[in-house]
Amino acid sequence: MTAQRTGRPWSLWVEYAFVGAIIAGMAYTIWFFRENGYLPQPFFYEPSGTFMDWYSLSYWGHYRGAYDIAGSIYPPLSFVVLKIFSFPSCYVNNVSEWARDCDWLGIVTLSGIMILNAVLTFMTFYKIDRQTFLPRAFALSLGLPMLFTFERGNMLLFCYACVLLAFGPLIRSARLRWFFGGLAINFKVYLFGAALAPLLHRRWTQTEGMIISALVVYLITWVILGEGSPAEVYENVAYYANGIAASRVLDLWYPSSLVPAISLLRGESFPVTTILDSHIVDILLMVAVNVLRTTELLIVLAAIATWLRPEVVPRHRVIFLAIAMAVTTSEVSGYTQTMLILFVFMERWKGFARPLAISLSYSLCIPAEYVKTKLSPVIQWSWLQNTEVFGEYGVGFLSILRPIIVLLIVWCMASTTLYQVWADIQKQGWKTRWRYRRDFPVMLGEGSPRAPQGFPAKSKS
């Protein structure tokens, strides 16, 4: 990572144009809310559910049953945080909607961590590239994935801060980075792959440090909460992973992957053939499954290529690939796109695939939706407006397109990795790889490892 880069002016204009689109989307969202009393698509379709990811879980931070009754997939850390930043007197009756009006500390906490994330994001990208930090930090801090996360009150807000500090350039202390990496894993289990990613760069100590930190954090919070054993967490995660299915069209509201679409096309919970011809459904299912499997294969090949030439692939891209494998092969909602965009924005605007990935990431940050046909209006309660409203929703074209955009971004990053490794093998061969001279001789290229100047020569006797 460098403090400053020289880039082409036209690329900056492209990035600022996307920022303009994001601001326009935000302006439309504000206008729509003032006119209709609820947030438009793609924000959540229950206007009464604002911040309910937070308040629906806060009760279990004060009372037992998070795992055997609520079936939570979160490790104990989330409930410890909820316990600290909430008033226990507001959860006596286990009515989360009422608790939201009582427990103002939760809203203050969510707003505070949202502001903190924005500050950390701007500081991070300022250290990475002073030329592009403003548009990229703005898009990430106030784009759709982050706004959606805030509107839902999801624990990803805390996890995002930990990921920034663990894998970004703000902290130099290795132990502190391990600590925040351990916190991130305890907030979102699917980030465990990010802790393993440094192994591809032969950074064993970093992986060991984060895993040990994650275990220590887990054990301490397990003791504090009094529940959440490894067996309980594993059983709930396994049940959740096997139970992902789209039972209605609204379940495709803001997905992160093609998994809900595949389950819908398979007719697991909804007779989609009553809407579409069975032949069309079969073709769509075949295409969706093949695209998903191709994405998985590209990630694996990129990981192998990184292992062969770790000095060629930047560390942030390896973290991206590890997170991408988790969020594209299972459904963890659209706000997880924040984690992917974070590491894409650390790339240089160079070549073809990387600018394309950056542009696609910007498009994911635009808070907008295209709905051609709306369903019948329904009367709903809007918590933000504190009144009943007539909600009109429909199948959003961009909600279907966004998971495909995510996969295209993964393809760009994986293909860039494969190309860079292949080009390095063709150009450098084995000559500059003295540090890796004991690697298994695969795709060596020309030449033999050359010792750096001043390195003691090996005796030929």
pLDDT of residue 2: 47
* CA–CA dist 247, 17 (Å, integer): 38
* Those residues with Cβ within 8 angstroms of residue 82's Cβ, 6 or more apart along the chain or in another chain: 54, 57, 58, 60, 61
Residue 242 parent element (H or E):
helix 230-242
Q: Quick check: is 201 in a domain?
A: yes
pLDDT of residue 267: 67
* CA–CA dist 383, 48 (Å, integer): 5
pLDDT of residue 458: 52
What does 145-202 look like in DSSP terms, one character per residue? HHHHHHHHT-THHHHHHHHHHHHSSS---HHHHHHHHHHHHHH-GGGHHHHHGGGGGT
Phi, psi of 429 (to 5 degrees): 60, -130
Supply the range of the domain harboring residue 168. Answer: 9-436
Q: Which two tokens stand for residue 242?
A: 């096997």
Q: Quick check: is 393 in a domain?
A: yes
Q: Quick check: is 427 in a domain?
A: yes
Find out whether 169 and 128 touch, Cβ atoms under 8 Å.
yes
pLDDT of residue 394: 77
pLDDT of residue 30: 95
pLDDT of residue 441: 57
Q: Quick check: is 114 in a domain?
A: yes
Per-residue pLDDT of the chain (461 residues; tens, 9 = 90+): 444 444 457 889 999 999 999 999 999 999 999 999 999 988 888 888 899 989 989 989 888 888 888 888 889 999 999 999 999 888 887 667 788 888 999 999 999 999 999 999 999 999 999 999 999 999 999 999 999 999 999 999 999 999 999 999 999 999 999 999 999 999 998 899 999 999 998 889 999 999 999 999 999 999 999 998 988 888 888 777 665 554 455 557 788 888 877 777 776 666 665 666 677 878 888 888 899 999 999 999 999 999 988 888 999 999 999 999 988 887 778 888 999 999 999 999 999 999 999 999 999 999 988 887 777 788 888 898 888 988 888 777 888 889 999 999 999 999 999 999 988 887 776 556 645 655 655 555 555 555 555 555 554 43
pLDDT of residue 179: 96
Cβ neighbours of 373 (radius 10 Å): 6
pLDDT of residue 7: 47
Cα dihedral across residues 356, 362, 364, 370: positive or negative = negative
Q: Quick check: is 350 in a domain?
A: yes
Q: Quick check: is 255 in a domain?
A: yes
Burial class (CB in 10 A: 0-12, 13-18, 19+), 2: exposed
Look up residue 286 and give its amino acid: M
Q: Which two tokens stand for residue 213?
A: 């930190």
Q: Quick check: is 453 in a domain?
A: no
Q: Which residue has the tokens 């191709």?
A: 294
Cβ neighbours of 17 (radius 10 Å): 13
Domain total of the chain: 1
* Those residues with Cβ within 8 angstroms of residue 427's Cβ, 6 or more apart along the chain or in another chain: none
Q: How much is the pTM? A: 0.88
B/e letters for 271-296, b = 16+ CB within 10 Å, e = fewer, are ebeeeeeeeebeebbeebeebbeebe
Let me know the angle formed at the C-alpha of 349 by 344 and 351, rounded to the nearest 5 degrees.
105
Find out whether 315 and 194 touch, Cβ atoms under 8 Å.
no
pLDDT of residue 261: 79
Q: Quick check: is 329 in a domain?
A: yes
